[in-house]
Amino acid sequence: MYIRHTLATLTLALTLHAAPQDDQYVLGPDSQVRADVPQGKVTQMPAWKDSKIFPGTSRDWWIYVPAQYSKDKPAAVMVFCDGGGFVKADGQFRAPVVFDNLIAKGEMPVTIGIFIQPGTFPTSNPNDKARSNRSFEYDSLGDLYARFLLEEILPAVAKDYNLTSNPDERAICGNSSGGICAFTVAWEKPDAFRKVVSHIGSFTNIRGGHVYPALIRKTDKKPIKVFLQDGKNDLDNQFGNWPLANQDMAAALKFAGYDYQFVLGEGTHNGKHGAAMLPDTLRWLWQAGTK
Amino acid sequence: MSPRLLLATLALPLLGSAQDTSLHDYLIDGEGWKEAASGYAFTDGLCTDSTGNLFFTDVKAGKGIYKIDVTTGKTDLFLDNLPGISGLQIGPDGRFYACHNKEQRIIAITLKGEVEVLLTNMKCNDLVVSKKGHLYFTETPTQTIHLITADKKHIAADQGHILKPNGITLSSDERTLVASEHGGKHVWTWQILDDGTLTAGAPFMTMWLPVGKETASGDGATTESKGRYFITTELGIQVFDTAGRLAGIISKPDPMGKVVSCEFAGKDHDLLFVAAGDKIFSRRLKVTGYFGK
C-alpha cells in the first residue's frame, strides 16, 4: 500500500506543484503513443529487499524492454532515479513511450530502461509511513549509489537480459535529488556510466553537493557527457539556490571542457520542462561522436 | 483525509518538505537565549514531563535531580542523594529512568525517590525510553548501543559501528532510533523492530564540522513534535529534518562554551532548554518538543 502511495507521490508532486511558468512546457509528438511504432514492455519487478549497500530498505522497480531487443545483441542501459514517476505510460515523462518512438526511428540505441524508486524502511504495520532513505541515497556524495547499481541491480537484470558493459552506452537520469544522484554515479564510476541527464538537479548543499562545480574545475576531465536542465524560478531555500547552482555546474563543465548541454528555462521545481524536452535530450545524449 | 491534507502529504517526500524545514522559519526574531538556571558545575540530563517542568542534573557536583518549575521558573533540588546522573527521562510508567554514570548503572526512580537498579557495570552516558517501555542507552567508550526491553532483558543492540555514541533519541513515530557520534561526524539511525531490537543501522545524517576538525562532537539529542532532530555539537545545536538533511545550526548561548544536552519544556513545550556548563539556558521557538506529551 505504501509503495503505491509513493508512486502516486512522485507523479502527483511534480504535476500538482506546476506553476504558470511550467505550463508552457507540454509534451510533443515523440511523447505520444503511436500505433505504427512497436511498443516495448514494462515489467514491475519484485520489490528489492535484500540490498547489502542500503540494508533494511525495500524499493519498487520496473524494467522496460524495447520490442527491438534481441538477446543476441547487448542492449544499452538507462537508469531512472525516482523511476516510478518516469515509467508510467500516462505520467509526466512517459519515458517508455519516448523510448519506443526514438528507438523505432533509430535516434537512440535499443536500450533497456531500469526505473528504480528510492528505498524506504518498511515496518510491520502497513499503516505506518515508512521512513524514506531517498535523501541519504541520492544527496550523499560518494560511490554508494553507483555501487548499488553495479553490484546489485545491474547483475540482477543481467541474469535475464543481455546488457552492454560499454560505459558509453550506460546512462542515468533523475530529477531534483535524483539529478545530482545521476551525476554522482557517473562522477564516481565513469568507467561504468558515462551519460547523465539531470532535471532541476539539486547541486546544492543538502548533503554537500554544492562542491561539485569546484571539484569539476580542479579535477582531470572525466569521459562523461552531461545534460542539465533547470528553471529560473526553481527553489531558493536553506540548501541553496537551484538556478544559481545549475548555472555554476554548467560554467564548471564548460571551463573543464566537458561534452555538456545546459538548458535554463522559466520553470519552477517541476519536471514539466524536462519532460517536454526528453525526446530532444535523449537524441542529444545518445548521438554518436562524443568528445 | 481532506483534499488539502492529501495534497500536502503527497507532495511532501519529493518537494514540499524542502521549503518548510528552514531554521529561519522556526526561530523567533528577538527571542534569544535566556538564562534559566546557574551556579552548577556541569549540567546535563535534561528531560521534561507532561506539564512542561524541566528536570536536570549536575553530573560533576550535583546532589541529585533538579527541577525548573514550569509555572514559577524557580529551580529546586527535586530528588536528593542521586549524584552523577548523566542521562534522564520519564518513562511511560511515570518513573524517571537514568544513566547513573557515577555508579555505572541504569536505574529507575519513582518521583518519591525509590530506586530500582536495572543494570550494573555499564559506562552509560545517555538514554531514551520508548512508549512501549524499551530503554536504549549509549555506552560511549565501548561504542555500544544497549537495549533494556520492556520485560527487562538486556541486549547489546549495536556494537562497533558508531564512533563514541553519545546523545540518543527516537523518531516521532518511535520506529527509528537515533544516536549522535561524539567521535565522528554522523548521526546514526536504526529501524526499531516490534520486539525493540535494532536493524538497518546507517550514518543517516551528517553533522557540520568545525573548521579544521574531523569530529563534530555530537552530544545530547532530542526530537521535535514533527520529527526533526536537535543535536548539540561543538558548533551549536544542529537541526535535521525527517529526511536526514541538515536544516541549520542554532547558535550556542555562549559562543565559547559547550552545549551538552537539550530538551523542549515549558507549558507549551516550545522552550528549547540547553545544558551549557554551569548554566541552563532556554529559548522560545515556533516548534514544540516531542517528549513529555
pLDDT tens-place string over residues B31-83: 999 999 999 999 999 999 999 999 999 999 999 999 999 999 999 999 999 99
Residue B254 pLDDT: 96
Q: Looking up cell 518537494, which residue turns up?
A: B15
pLDDT the model gives residue B8: 37
> Is there a contact between A237 and B22 if contact means CB atoms under 8 Å apart?
yes
Chain centroid to CA A154: how far?
15
Question: Which of A10-24, A43-57, A95-109, A179-193 has the least mean pLDDT?
Answer: A10-24
Name chain B contacts of A269, Cβ cutoff 8 Å.
15, 18
Instruction: Give A239 to chain B, closest Cα distance, Å.
Output: 8
Angle CA B20–B23–B25, to nearest 5: 55
**Grid cell locating B213:** 576538525
Q: How confident is the model at residue A19 (pLDDT cuts 50, 70, 90)?
A: confident
> Stretch A73-93: mean pLDDT, rounded?
97
Q: Are strands A225-231 and A195-199 parallel, antiparallel or unpaired?
A: parallel
Distance from B18 to chain A by nearest Cα, in Å? 7
Confidence of residue A127 (pLDDT cuts 50, 70, 90): confident
Asked whether the beta carbons of A60 and A6 are under 8 A apart, the reply is yes
Nearest chain A residue (CA) to B15: A13
Query: What pLDDT score does B216 carry?
Result: 98
Question: What share of chain A in percent tops pLDDT 70?
Answer: 93
CB-based contact (8 Å) between A82 and chain B? yes
Cβ contact B206–A208 (<8 Å): yes
pLDDT value at position B11? Answer: 36
Nearest CA-CA partner of A10 in A114, A58, A80, A100:
A80
Sign of the dihedral through C-alpha B67, B68, B70, B72? positive
* Mean pLDDT score across all residues of chain A: 93
Q: Residue B190 gets which letter from DSSP?
A: E
- What is the pLDDT at residue B25? 87
- Which of A16-30, B112-126, B234-248 is predicted least confidently? A16-30
Q: Which three cell numbers stand for residue B278?
A: 554551569
Amino acid at B37: A
Check B10 against A16: CB less than 8 A apart: yes
C-alpha–C-alpha distance, residues A22 and A53, integer Å: 37
pLDDT at position B132, please? Answer: 97
What was the pLDDT predicted at B111? 96
What pLDDT was estimated at residue A290? 45
User: What's the one-letter identity of residue A81?
Assistant: C
Confidence class for position A18, pLDDT limits 50, 70, 90: low
Q: What does the alpha-carbon distance between residue A103 and residue A112 come to, in Å, rounded to a whole number?
A: 11
Say how far apart CA A281 and CA A259 lie, in whole Å.
13
User: How confident is the model at residue A3, as a pLDDT?
Assistant: 43
Answer whether B174's CB lies under 8 Å from B130's CB: yes
User: Which of the residues A135, A137, A148 would you substitute to probe the B interface, choosing the one with the greatest number of B C-beta atoms within 10 Å?
Assistant: A135
**Option in B171, B173, B206 nearest A207 (CB):** B206
List, for residues A177-210, the tens digit of each pLDDT value: 999 999 999 999 999 999 999 999 999 999 999 9
pLDDT in tens, B161-198: 999 999 999 999 999 999 999 999 999 999 999 999 99
Of all residues in chain B, the one with the smallest CA distance to A239 is B247
Residue B20: its pLDDT value, please?
59
pLDDT of B292 strictly over 50: yes
* Mean pLDDT on A12-19: 55
Comparison of pLDDT for B77 and A13, the residue scoring more: B77
Residue type, B265: A
pLDDT digits (tens, 9 = 90+) for A109-122: 999 999 999 999 99
Residues of B in contact with A135 (CB under 8 A): 243-245
Nearest to A9 among B14, B19, B189 (CB): B14
**b or e along B240-276 (b: 16 or more beta carbons within 10 Å of the residue's beta carbon)?**
bbbbbbbbbbbebbeeeebbbbbbbbbeebbbbbbbb
Higher pLDDT, A12 or B145: B145
pLDDT score, position B21: 76
Q: β-strand B144-148 against B271-276: which pairing, if any? A: unpaired
Nearest to B23 among A128, A208, A238 (CB): A238
* Rg of chain A (C-alpha set): 18
All cell numbers assigned to A253: 563543465
Q: Is the pLDDT of residue A6 over 90?
A: no
Residue B267 clears pLDDT 80, i.e. is over it = yes
> What is the number of alpha carbons within 13 Å of residue B167 lying toward its C-beta?
33
Spatial separation of the C-alpha atoms in residues B155 and A79, rounded to whole Å: 41
Nearest Cβ partner for B202 among A8, A136, A237: A136
pLDDT tier for residue A15 given thresholds of 50, 70 and 90? very low
Instruction: Please check whether residue A10 touches B, CB under 8 A.
Output: yes
- B293 confidence band (pLDDT: 50, 70, 90): confident
Q: What does the pLDDT read at residue A245?
A: 98
Using an 8 Å Cβ cutoff, are B54 and B72 in contact? no
pLDDT at position A12 is 42
Side-chain half-sphere exposure of B272, counting CA atoms within 13 A = 34
Percent of chain B with pLDDT over 90: 91
The pLDDT of residue A283: 98
Q: Do B175 and A139 touch (CB under 8 A)?
A: no
Among A17-26, B142-151, B239-248, B252-261, where is mean pLDDT lowest? Answer: A17-26
Which whole number is the average pLDDT over B92-121? 98
Residue A207 in contact with partner chain B when CB distance is under 8 A: yes
The pLDDT of A268-287, averaged and rounded, is 98
Number of cross-chain residue pairs from A and B with Cβ atoms under 8 Å apart: 91
pLDDT of residue B14: 41
Mean pLDDT, rounded, for B198-213: 97
